[in-house]
């Protein structure tokens, strides 16, 4: 009897000892040390005990491998605050396993990045996780930067580790997103400036923005040239859904969203692999920005054309819903309306102050209401020839994958 209970006691002690030892063995560092090609990330963890030293509750660490940092190229020139926000963005709240996701499932995962300078969405900035038909799990971050989980579901004391092949990029505002990646959004952002709505749209928390691509503005160049500022404001506000971040998987067939234009409704239609808002096709969904999500669309929406729906018999693009007047051409020969309304920044050389090639549009909506065309205009951003991120076929491919 006595011997038996001693043995039992020893058993308890050794179990406790073992679990203490295994807890020790499952620290973040020790688990990462057992994996190849994580030298850079492990170095960053060591330097940032404030972020990785202790966690309040369970977390999932998205750990970029060395190749991910290699692809980034410039990460060692990140400012301290950018590095700090980037690292916080790689700490996801809760323990997320890839096995908990079904094929086609997406989750909008909250991260540890709550700094107001970087995020204006409720519950901290988020990442999207999506399980592809191939079973791969893809993470999507700002600027539609994606990464694939290459080593799944490693356990450590405070949750899970997912090793990824790209460094996730902290979402920025729509303007910076347009300038540095999605140059196809410059007409929309320029129009927000022209209508003095940039602060309203970029400054509010939790928004969904349906942003027409440049070509959609170009085919209405004459229409916009004649449009008064009040009408322009109504048109633009109709593209914004306040108080709600609606991801592609939430855009269900026949669902309706209330726009910032007096609550006027926007209707979602799904047909085969296409998703439309009114009659405009979503070309690229889920471009994360600091205050929500942007969906790039192929047509300008009309607040007085809320009943517009796609015509599925058309093989070509859906026609514009606003009445076309005057210049409607698309392509490089036609200046993009409102592109010249984007203010210049240090990284963008001033335009010729001459009412030249880029001087024709947007001048009717100068912020003081006067025309600046032909005068010595303020330096304006033109010719934003940045790296366009794939839209169109690649985007449709990504949507089909959902
Ligand atoms: C580590 O990186 C090297 C060089 O890119 C590669 O050849 C090797 O397969 C990687 N090892 C693992 C386990 O991923
Ligand atoms: C979406 O709703 C429309 C209108 O009711 C319907 O005709 C269509 O079949 C639906 N599409 C899908 C993909 O369910
Ligand atoms: C839809 O497109 C077809 C093909 O161009 C056309 O014949 C038809 O009139 C259109 N329907 C509507 C409602 O506009």
Q: What is the model's pLDDT at position 347?
A: 56
Same domain, 227 and 293: yes
Distance in Å from the first CA to the final CA of the chain: 63
Ligand 2 center from residue 37 Cα (angstroms): 48
Ligand closest to the CA atom of residue 315? 3
Residue 12 has pLDDT above 60, yes or no: no
- Residue 190, both tokens: 């320029």
Report which ligand 2 atom has the smallest distance to the Cα of 254.
Answer: 2
Same domain, 192 and 233: yes
Residue 132 has pLDDT above 50, yes or no: yes
Mean of pLDDT values over 152-179: 96
User: Which is more confident, 44 or 388?
Assistant: 44
Same domain, 226 and 88: no
**Residue pair 125/113 in contact by the 8 Å Cβ criterion:** yes
Q: Is 267 near ligand 2, meaning CB less than 6 Å away?
A: no
Q: For residues 313 and 119, what is the distance between their CA atoms, to the nearest angstrom? A: 42
Please give the DSSP secondary-structure letter assigned to residue 365.
G
Q: What is the model's pLDDT at position 297?
A: 98
14 in a structural domain: no
Contacts of 301 (CB under 8 A, 6+ apart): 210, 212, 235, 238, 239, 266, 277, 278, 280, 308, 321
Report which ligand 2 atom has the smallest distance to the Cα of 269.
Answer: 1
Same domain, 151 and 186: no
Mean of pLDDT values over 28-46: 96
Mutate to test the pocket of ligand 1, among 37, 39, 68, 150 (most ligand atoms within 8 A of CB): 37
Same domain, 237 and 364: yes
At 245-265, the pLDDT tens digits run: 999 999 999 999 999 999 999
8 in a structural domain: no
Residue 216 has pLDDT above 60, yes or no: yes
Ligand 2 center from residue 323 Cα (angstroms): 27
Question: By alpha-carbon position, which residue is closest to atom 7 of ligand 1?
Answer: 37
Mean of pLDDT values over 176-197: 94
Mean of pLDDT values over 302-315: 95
Instruction: Band the pLDDT of 329: cuts 50, 70, 90.
Output: low
Residue 320 has pLDDT above 70, yes or no: yes
Ligand closest to the CA atom of residue 271? 2
At 72-124, the pLDDT tens digits run: 888 888 999 999 999 999 999 999 999 999 999 999 999 999 998 889 999 99
211 in a structural domain: yes
Q: For residues 309 and 169, what is the distance between their CA atoms, to the nearest angstrom? A: 35
Instruction: Band the pLDDT of 16: cuts 50, 70, 90.
Output: very low
To the nearest whole number, what is the mean pLDDT of the chain?
82
How many domains does the structure of the chain reveal? Answer: 2
2 in a structural domain: no
Question: By alpha-carbon position, which residue is closest to atom 3 of ligand 3?
Answer: 313
Ligand closest to the CA atom of residue 275? 2
At 261-291, the pLDDT tens digits run: 999 999 999 999 999 999 999 999 999 999 9
**Residue pair 231/267 in contact by the 8 Å Cβ criterion:** no
- C-alpha distance from residue 123 to each of 109, 111, 115, 291, 352 (Å): 10, 8, 11, 11, 44
Same domain, 69 and 180: no
Report which ligand 2 atom has the smallest distance to the Cα of 271.
Answer: 13
Domain stops at, among 125, 141, 164: 164
Residue 2 has pLDDT above 80, yes or no: no
Report which ligand 1 atom has the smallest distance to the Cα of 35.
Answer: 13
Residue 177 has pLDDT above 90, yes or no: yes
Q: Is 253 near ligand 2, meaning CB less than 6 Å away?
A: yes
Residue 237 has pLDDT above 50, yes or no: yes
Same domain, 112 and 198: no
Same domain, 217 and 362: yes
- C-alpha distance from residue 63 to each of 39, 91, 162, 354 (Å): 11, 9, 6, 50
233 in a structural domain: yes
What is the phi/psi pair of residue 271, to 5°?
-150, 125
Q: For tokens 């030892």, what's the residue? A: 21
Ligand closest to the CA atom of residue 310? 3
- Alpha helices (H) in 115-210, listed in sequence order: 174-180, 186-194, 198-203
Query: Which percentage of the chain shows pLDDT scores above 70?
Result: 78
Same domain, 156 and 199: no
> Ligand 1 site: residues with CB under 6 angstroms?
36-37, 67
Ligand 2 center from residue 272 Cα (angstroms): 9
1 in a structural domain: no
Ligand closest to the CA atom of residue 165? 1
Residues facing residue 258 across a β-bridge: 265
10 in a structural domain: no
Same domain, 51 and 141: yes
Same domain, 146 and 181: no
Ligand 2 center from residue 270 Cα (angstroms): 6
Instruction: Band the pLDDT of 326: cuts 50, 70, 90.
Output: confident
135 in a structural domain: yes
At 335-389, the pLDDT tens digits run: 889 988 988 876 554 443 333 223 222 222 222 223 333 222 333 333 332 223 3
> Ligand 3 site: residues with CB under 6 angstroms?
311, 313-314
Same domain, 73 and 143: yes
* Distance, C-alpha 332 to centroid of its chain: 27
Mutate to test the pocket of ligand 3, among 313, 316, 319, 321 (most ligand atoms within 8 A of CB): 313
What CATH number corresponds to the domain at position 198?
Answer: 2.30.180.10
Rounded (10°) CA dihedral 44, 49, 52, 58: 170
Domain that holds residue 139: 25-164
Report which ligand 1 atom has the smallest distance to the Cα of 66.
Answer: 2
Q: For residues 355 and 281, what is the distance between their CA atoms, to the nearest angstrom? A: 34
Domain stops at, among 164, 199, 224: 164
Ligand 2 center from residue 268 Cα (angstroms): 10
Q: For residues 303 and 231, what is the distance between their CA atoms, to the nearest angstrom? A: 10
Domain stops at, among 125, 143, 164: 164
Ligand 3 center from residue 319 Cα (angstroms): 11
* String of DSSP letters for 171-191: ---HHHHHHHT-GGGHHHHHH
Ligand 3 center from residue 392 Cα (angstroms): 23
């Amino acid at each position: 009897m006595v011997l038996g209970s001693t043995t039992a006691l020893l058993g308890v002690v050794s179990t406790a000892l073992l679990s203490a030892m295994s807890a020790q063995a499952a620290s973040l560092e020790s688990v990462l040390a057992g994996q190849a090609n994580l030298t850079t990330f492990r170095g960053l963890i060591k330097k940032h005990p404030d972020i990785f030293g202790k966690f309040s509750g369970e977390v999932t660490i998205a750990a970029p491998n060395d190749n991910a940092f290699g692809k980034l190229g410039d990460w060692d020139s990140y400012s301290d605050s950018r590095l700090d926000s980037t690292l916080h963005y790689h700490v996801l709240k809760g323990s997320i396993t890839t096995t908990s996701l079904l094929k086609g499932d997406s989750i909008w995962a909250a991260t540890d990045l709550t700094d107001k300078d970087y995020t204006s969405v409720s519950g901290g900035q988020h990442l999207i996780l999506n399980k592809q038909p191939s079973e791969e799990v893809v993470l999507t971050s700002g600027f539609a930067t994606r990464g694939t989980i290459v080593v799944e579901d490693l356990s450590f004391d405070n949750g899970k580790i997912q090793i990824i092949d790209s460094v996730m990029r902290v979402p920025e505002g729509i303007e910076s997103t347009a300038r540095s990646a999605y140059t196809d959004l410059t007409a929309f952002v320029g129009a927000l400036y022209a209508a003095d709505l940039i602060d309203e749209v970029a400054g509010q928390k939790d928004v969904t923005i349906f942003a027409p691509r440049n070509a959609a503005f170009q085919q209405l160049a004459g229409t916009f040239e004649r449009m008064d500022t009040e009408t322009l404001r109504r048109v633009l506000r109709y593209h914004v859904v306040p108080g709600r971040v609606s991801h592609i998987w939430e855009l269900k067939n026949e669902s309706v969203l209330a726009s910032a234009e007096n609550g006027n409704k926007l209707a979602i239609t799904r047909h085969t692999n296409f998703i439309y808002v009114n009659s405009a096709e979503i070309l690229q969904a889920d471009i994360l920005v600091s205050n929500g999500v942007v969906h790039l669309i192929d047509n300008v929406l009309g607040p007085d054309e809320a009943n517009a729906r796609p015509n599925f018999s058309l093989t070509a693009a859906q026609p514009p819903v606003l009445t076309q007047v005057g210049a409607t051409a698309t392509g490089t020969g036609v200046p993009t309306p409102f592109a010249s309304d984007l203010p210049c920044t240090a990284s963008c050389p001033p335009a010729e102050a001459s009412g030249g090639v880029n001087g024709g549009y947007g001048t009717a909506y100068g912020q003081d209401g006067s025309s600046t065309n032909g005068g010595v205009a303020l330096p304006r951003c033109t010719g934003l020839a940045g790296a366009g991120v794939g839209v169109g076929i690649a985007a449709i491919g990504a949507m089909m994958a959902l």
